[in-house]
Amino acid sequence: MAKIGIMSCAHMHAYAYAGCVKALPDAELVAIWDDDSKRGRAAAREFGTKFIADLQKFLSSGVDAVIVCSENSKHRPMVEAAAKAGKWVLCEKPLATTVADAKAMIRACSAAGVGLGTAFPCRFITPVIEARNRLKSGEIGRLHAAACTNNGSFPGGWFADPKLSGGGAVMDHTVHVVDALRWMTGKEFTRVYCDCGTLLHEGLKTDDVGSLHLEMEDGVIVSHVASWNRAESFPTWGDVTFELVGSKGVLSVDGFNQKIDVYSDRVRKTEWAFWGDDANLAMVKDFVDAVDAQRPPSVTGEDGLRALEVTLAAYRSAKSGKMVAV
């Protein structure tokens, strides 16, 4: 039985992950710590666990492992504190907002002998796994190109504060696709071009639309949309899509296209009700299994660092107007 604690509920995924921990028979949600005690207390109430306001008391309360869901720029101190206390760590994406922070986190976990995972649930989306299998089976031959999107609705709050988020839609919605493509192809990204701007939400201090062009090893070319472009009236939060072009054909993946259309007079907005497998649950289960087996999570801190490096290169490109090396 893995005893899991949650550190900060600043990121809304904390609530999804808490639900996953509760749903897993081999795991127990033993405590929540949050630097915003009001938020932490409310979350603890919601999930029937205890809130511990003091960080050291939280870390010595018997938790085996923690899931860090703070604002992006606060990941490092929390992960370092958890590692120092010998806790296994699953950290929300992006792993950090700077390469230095990400490397320090990896070092801290390695020095403490604890596993560090980056929360990339895309690797656990069943249709994405299916696509990877088909790609590996040679169904579309040699991969030449990929056109991808990770669109979403505007998350609001600290996501639009560059000091806490490290960037906007490009920071938020590039890493998933970068990691998934690395995983599907086994290739690394080498160069990136990015055009981004604040185009849909007036007065925002970060970008909300980014169009990226990337190159991978062996000459694979990739385009990507990282955006907060989904209207409030759109039936769902967003999407993750890949169109993979190979020497023998095209493989199209719409990761969350397992839904029914719902027209409710009460809601007065068309909604898509998702019925596919729960990728978050599979990811948290992998983490819990890793804690039990004292092995690193499947998606590591290094994976988080690689995805962050590509994202930061995208921002460098947007600034210079040129394609840049990762």
Q: Does 234 bind other proteins (CB under 8 A)?
A: yes
Applying CB under 8 A, which part among 44-52, 79-87, 104-112, 143-151 lies near other proteins?
A: 143-151
Q: How far is the CB of 208 from other proteins (least distance, A)?
A: 8
Q: How far is the CB of 245 from other proteins (least distance, A)?
A: 5
Residues between 197 and 216 that touch other proteins (CB under 8 A) = 197, 199-202, 208-211, 213, 215
Q: What is the DSSP string of 242-303?
A: EEEEETTEEEEEETT--EEEEE-TTT-SEEEEE-S--HHHHHHHHHHHHHHHT---SSBHHH
What is the residue type of 269?
A: K
Q: In what order do the strands lie in the sheet with 27-33?
A: 50-51, 27-33, 2-7, 65-68, 88-91, 116-118
Q: Does 257 bind other proteins (CB under 8 A)?
A: no
Q: How far is the CB of 258 from other proteins (least distance, A)?
A: 18
Q: Does 225 bind other proteins (CB under 8 A)?
A: yes
- The conformation of residue 149, written as its DSSP 8-state character, comes to E
By CB atoms closer than 10 A (0-12, 13-18, 19+), residue 108 is buried
Q: Does 42 bind other proteins (CB under 8 A)?
A: no
Q: Does 261 bind other proteins (CB under 8 A)?
A: no
Q: What is the DSSP string of 6-70?
A: EE---STHHHHHHHHHHH-TTEEEEEEE-SSHHHHHHHHHHTT-EE--SHHHHHTTT-SEEEE-S
- For residue 182 the two structure tokens come to 């690395």
The binder of other proteins chosen from 12, 23, 100, 250 (CB under 8 A): 250
Q: How far is the CB of 159 from other proteins (least distance, A)?
A: 17
- What is the total count of residues that contact other proteins (CB under 8 A)? 37
Q: Does 229 bind other proteins (CB under 8 A)?
A: yes
State which residue, 255 or 304, has the beta carbon closest to other proteins.
Answer: 255
Q: How far is the CB of 213 from other proteins (least distance, A)?
A: 5
Other Cβ atoms closer than 10 A to 205? 12
> Under DSSP, is residue 76 helix (H, G, I), strand (E, B) or coil?
helix
Residues between 3 and 22 that touch other proteins (CB under 8 A) = none
Q: Does 84 bind other proteins (CB under 8 A)?
A: no
Q: Does 173 bind other proteins (CB under 8 A)?
A: no
Q: Does 134 bind other proteins (CB under 8 A)?
A: no
Binding interface with other proteins (CB under 8 A): 144-145, 147, 149, 191, 193, 195-197, 199-202, 208-211, 213, 215, 221-223, 225, 227, 229-231, 233-234, 243, 245, 247, 249-250, 321-323
